[in-house]
Structure 1
Amino acid sequence: MPRDASMAGSTEEARRLGCVLLRGLLRFVFMVLNNLVAIPSYVCYVLALQPLRLLDPPRFWYLEGIMYKWLLGMVASWGWSAGYTVMEWGEDIRAISEDEAVMLVNHQATGDVCTLMMCLQDKGQAVAQMMWLMDHIFKYTNFGIVSLIHGDFFIRQGKSHRDRQLLLLKKHLENNYRSRDRKWIVLFPEGGFLRKRRETSQAFAKKNNLPFLTHVTLPRVGATGVLLSTLVVRQENGSPAGGDARCPDSKSKGLQWIIDTTIAYPKAEPIDIQTWILGYRKPTVTHVHYRIFPIKDVPLEGDRLADWLYQRFIEKEGLLAHFYETGAFPPAEGQKEAVSREMTLSSVWLVLIQSFAFLSGYMWYSILQYCYHCLF
């Protein structure tokens, strides 16, 4: 290669790297400012609405849920603006967005949470009425105060904490789920990231004569069992009162659906929260597959529940193996070809909620500054 061409190539690469770094820095600064105004504003609104919480709790939690959805929409906008989009496969979960459901999701990286925050934005009020079960470490992040107010549950991992955490989860559901009109719960049954748990899971599978999995790990049953035993309404004969997946309009009280959710990244390269914030990876399409199970078809306890849950993750293994080989999920039973749907967000709406956050921050700052001057 001629020397001039080599130097030109090096200059171009340096320019490209400089653009990536500058763009990442600007995105980081914007998101810091966004957090500094949006989260305190949310807290201020919640405090100002406390009288409404005493007089009309359902309306208070409805308004809180709307603000919660907007905050999650802001997180979604960070990925959307970097070209990180979502393609959806399988059943259309919008049809059951008004019913109670549990999402069982495979877990690969911190970006999984951001992906769900994005792809659930167009599922009616599901995000506003959603409860997350997440690792306790998230309590100490910038978003922790929001999750605490909203009523998400932080769970500690490890054998020494397991029994107590399950008791705390049951109590949390009894105190916060229906009193706040929650509808959906997001659960990562694997209990950690794939890369951290794969070796341990494979050793457990070998010891217990279970399938050898590489794209997912064997799920933990405890939290799922607590959710089902606490939230499923039973009929007089003891069977669950649930809906029928073939008739989404059917209504019954209590938990009605399990949404088996599988997240797949091209080339099995997950997106982490740092990439989501800084946007240094090229535009990427994340693929999310849904399968709906009516609660009447789900065992509620014991070994039968464990076997059912294991089977779901064995199926996830097959789904992901097919995706990594072909770039698409396989067609559902009875289908000749799998159909995907591109998930879209309104850029106008994203700009509006970001603008509302900054205007709210300015308003609350002015109010607090005025109060300070009046007092001192």
Structure 2
Amino acid sequence: MAVTLEEAPWLGWILLKALLRFAFMVANNLVAIPSYICYVIILQPLRVLDSKRFWYIEGIMYKWLLGMVASWGWYAGYTVMEWGEDIKAISKDEAVMLVNHQATGDVCTLMMCLQDKGLVVAEMMWLMDHIFKYTNFGIVSLLHGDFFIRQGRSYRDQQLLLLKKHLENYYRSRGRKWIVLFPEGGFLRKRRETSQAFAKKNNLPFLTHVTLPRCGATKIILSTLVARQENGSPAGGDAKESIFPIKDVPLEIDDLTNWLYQRFIEKEDLLSHFYETGAFPPSKGQKEAVSREMTLSNMWIFLIQSFAFLSGYMWYNIIQYFYHYLF
């Protein structure tokens, strides 16, 4: 596609902004993640003396880190419209968030959506593919206590046992309340063909916008952590959220599988409606669907970014001082 002389300055400005944003993201990672690690290391005595307070402070720093990631899209002009039930109402309860997985951007979307839900992000545990352990954010997730799961039939039983042990060791002891789970087990584009073949073989609905979920991890989470009570278990799709009380969620494997299938069939219908009309259908009892625009506080972003860069500068000078002193 040819570029005219009139378009050249505009395209140049777009390219410059993209490069500046990328440079800021790199700098943000270089100061924020090492600073988080240094703070966690220096606070280890507090972990011994008062574990609850230590994990509270760690959770707040974790929330700030995810807020920084959310801010990259926010300052680029992106926002999220939330539909359905307001999950802020159960932000202090324990919950499992079942998310359909379109692409990597789902993670950033969740980071933005959940920032205004009290301490949800700070008290959250993510289940993610093991490959993310080797990304720039992997060390943060390891320290926070997120679980990295390896995909593949040959690893399935072993990974479920490891997940059960991980939940028993880290969920309660670190004050976690929410778990984010992608039951489909991968991106839509990678799983769709396999899911549709499985559906055809087992006389299940043919899904296009989501894939049939796997229930192994969900079963382990519920059987390990859940006591029969009234707290909710929110399941969200493309920023469309619904809340299901845990008493309504079956624990037997066959019933749970059917329940999960039904939730993702509902997601399929919701997304089909959204792609056709640009809006989700109204919930029961509503004549018209009402959306909520997700916003981030510019002042809050400025403060946490300032703290990150000042911390990075401080830790750099401290490490440099000890390096020259010792060597």
Normalising by structure 2, we get a TM-score of: 0.98
Checking the alignment, whether the CA contact within 8 Å between 1:229 and 1:301 is kept in structure 2 is: no
The match for 1:115 is 109
User: Aligned residue pairs: how many?
Assistant: 326
**Equivalent of 1:78 in 59, 72, 75:** 72
The match for 1:3 is none
Deviation digits for residues 178-214 of structure 1, max 9, x if unmatched? 0000010000000001111111100100000000000
For structure 2, which runs of at least 5 residues remain unmatched after alignment? none
Counterpart-to-counterpart distance in 2, 1:217 and 1:178: 31
Deviation >4 Å, runs of 4+: none
The match for 1:147 is 141
Counterpart-to-counterpart distance in 1, 2:19 and 2:41: 33
**Equivalent of 1:94 in 88, 100, 103:** 88
The match for 2:245 is 294
Superposition map of 1:28-177 within 5 A:
28-177=22-171
Q: Does 1:323 align with 2:323?
A: no
For structure 1, which runs of at least 5 residues remain unmatched after alignment? 1-6, 234-239, 244-255, 264-287
Identity, % of aligned positions: 79
The match for 2:292 is 341
Once the two structures are overlaid, the 10-residue window that deviates more, 107-116 or 22-31, is 22-31
Deviation digits for residues 67-123 of structure 1, max 9, x if unmatched? 000000000000000111011111111111011000000001100000000110000
The alignment yields a C-alpha RMSD, in angstroms, of: 1.0
Secondary structure at 1:99 match in 2? coil
Deviation digits for residues 247-275 of structure 1, max 9, x if unmatched? xxxxxxxxx32211001xxxxxxxxxxxx
Q: Does 1:364 align with 2:290?
A: no
CA drift at 1:17? 2.3
The match for 2:15 is 21
Q: Tell me which amino acid in the other structure corresponds to 1:257.
A: G
The match for 2:218 is 224
The match for 2:180 is 186
CA drift at 1:174? 0.2
The match for 1:375 is 326
Secondary structure at 2:82 match in 1? strand
Normalising by structure 1, we get a TM-score of: 0.85
Secondary structure at 1:305 match in 2? helix
Counterpart-to-counterpart distance in 1, 2:200 and 2:234: 28
Deviation digits for residues 276-321 of structure 1, max 9, x if unmatched? xxxxxxxxxxxx1110000000001211000000000000000001
CA drift at 1:12? 2.5
Counterpart-to-counterpart distance in 2, 1:301 and 1:136: 27
Counterpart-to-counterpart distance in 2, 1:375 and 1:64: 30
Secondary structure at 2:6 match in 1? helix
Q: Tell me which amino acid in the other structure corresponds to 1:164.
A: Q
Secondary structure at 1:89 match in 2? strand
Counterpart-to-counterpart distance in 1, 2:144 and 2:64: 13
Checking the alignment, whether the CA contact within 8 Å between 1:132 and 1:152 is kept in structure 2 is: yes
Counterpart-to-counterpart distance in 2, 1:228 and 1:325: 35
**Equivalent of 1:257 in 229, 232, 256:** 232
CA drift at 1:372? 1.8
Secondary structure at 2:5 match in 1? helix
Counterpart-to-counterpart distance in 2, 1:307 and 1:372: 59
